[in-house]
Homo-oligomer: A and B are copies of this chain.
Amino acid sequence: MSKTSAGRFFEDYRIGQVIDHAVPRSVGAGERALYHALYPARGALYSSDEFARACGLPASPVDDLVAFHIVFGKSVPDISLNAVANLGYAAGRFLRPVYPGDTLQSASEIIGLKQNSNGTSGVVYVRTRGRNQRNEVVLDYVRWVMVRKRDADAPAPDTVVPDLPQVVDPQDLVVPDGLDFTRYDFTAAGEAHRWGDYAVGERIDHVDGVTIEEAEHMLATRLWQNTAKVHFDATFRPDGKRLIYGGHVISLARALSFNGLANAQMIAAINAGAHANPCFAGDTVRAWSEVLDRAETPAPGVGALRLRLVATKGDAGILRTDEGKYHPDVLLDLDYWVFVPR
């Protein structure tokens, strides 16, 4: 009997199947510091316990994307080890902050299956939930990936494509318990712009750029216990390149967006996301944002902005070619909600 796992193939998934992912992970002061070393993150709420307390939280949480990456990383051995591509995200909600000392675990439910017409692969839709040590859901999102078949002759399953929202309804955003931005310190946060200062359609060039090194993306991706070969083994791809984990680009772009969105403190939801083009070491990544929508929340002083965050190797503002495809310089197109002071 082989002791190692070759991962699941398309024909191994069944609608309704729930997979508990392995290796729970405690997060702490180390993960928090490493996040600041790996990304130019400057959001005050995640940098300072004092600032977080002044906003009604018990302490500074770990970055929302740390939770996302850990929950995602745990799902890789069960969901995307034989994936050809990570196709999209929807209906992602951040339900509870994660604090140093918390232990995260992750499980996925298969909610959709659609074999490709070529019969050699198919699309698997999963809802992945991250839970803390009190079994509270901290994060919940849907992603779909194209997964190879082990055996092209395996019968196709009934096609089930889940009905996914284009955007998370702002009514469904969950404001963390106690969050209160009425005494928000804009000087400490770094910028004066409030919720009301952002107009739908407004675009922001975040100015800064970061040239990525192999060591950095590997340190990050390992930290999330994401062990997909393609990120670490230079002999895996014919071109000898290591593909950078898409989440590394998300964190990098989000951190770069501080310059212009310093008050976009907490991620509330991920509406959609596409890793438009692969990213490799040596690429210099920049970011720009577009304000897509605004919403109120019942929490004191807290508004929500729906933002498009684009990571690019090229000029700010570029997104698609005339044919409607992503421009070859675009790495990431992420649609998300954030909580900002009103």
Residues of A that sit less than 8 Å from B by CB: 1, 3-5, 20, 22-26, 28-34, 36-40, 42-44, 47-51, 60, 77, 100-101, 103, 105, 133, 187-191, 193, 197-198, 202, 204-211, 213-216, 218-220, 222-223, 225, 227, 229, 232-236, 242, 259-262, 282, 284
Contact = CB atoms under 8 A, between A and B. Distances in A.
11 contacts: A3-B260, A4-B206, A22-B187, A28-B33, A36-B223, A37-B222, A49-B133, A210-B232, A215-B215, A219-B219, A234-B284
A3 B261 contact: yes
A60 B103 CA distance: 11
Contacts of A222: 36-40
A215 to B, nearest CB: 4
Contacts of A49: 26, 101, 103, 133
- Among A43, A60, A213, chain B packs the most CB atoms within 10 A around the CB of A213
A190 B28 contact: no
Nearest to A189: B22
Contacts of A47: 23-26, 225
A42 B23 contact: yes
Given A24-B188, A51-B103, A211-B234, 7 more contacts: A22-B42, A23-B48, A25-B48, A31-B33, A34-B37, A208-B227, A233-B284
B24 A44 contact: yes
Contact of A37 (B50, B188, B223): B223
Contacts of A261: 3
A190 B37 contact: no
B105 A188 contact: yes
Nearest to A219: B37
Contact of A44 (B22, B38, B40): B22
B3 A191 contact: yes
Could you tell me the dominant secondary structure of chain A's interface residues?
mixed
A58 to B, nearest CB: 13
Contacts of A51: 24, 103
Nearest to A220: B37
B223 A209 contact: no
B213 A218 contact: yes
A92 to B, nearest CB: 24
B193 A3 contact: yes
Nearest to A59: B26
A210 B77 CA distance: 16
B36 A225 contact: yes
B32 A34 contact: no
Contacts of A105: 48, 188
A100 B27 CA distance: 13
Contacts of A236: 209
A265 B213 CA distance: 32
Contact of A48 (B37, B100, B103): B103
Contact of A23 (B189, B225, B227, B234): B189
Contacts of A214: 211, 213, 215
Q: 6 tightest A-B contacts by CB?
A: A30-B33, A22-B190, A215-B215, A24-B48, A3-B260, A211-B234
A189 to B, nearest CB: 6
A103 B185 CA distance: 15
Contact of A4 (B24, B225, B260): B260
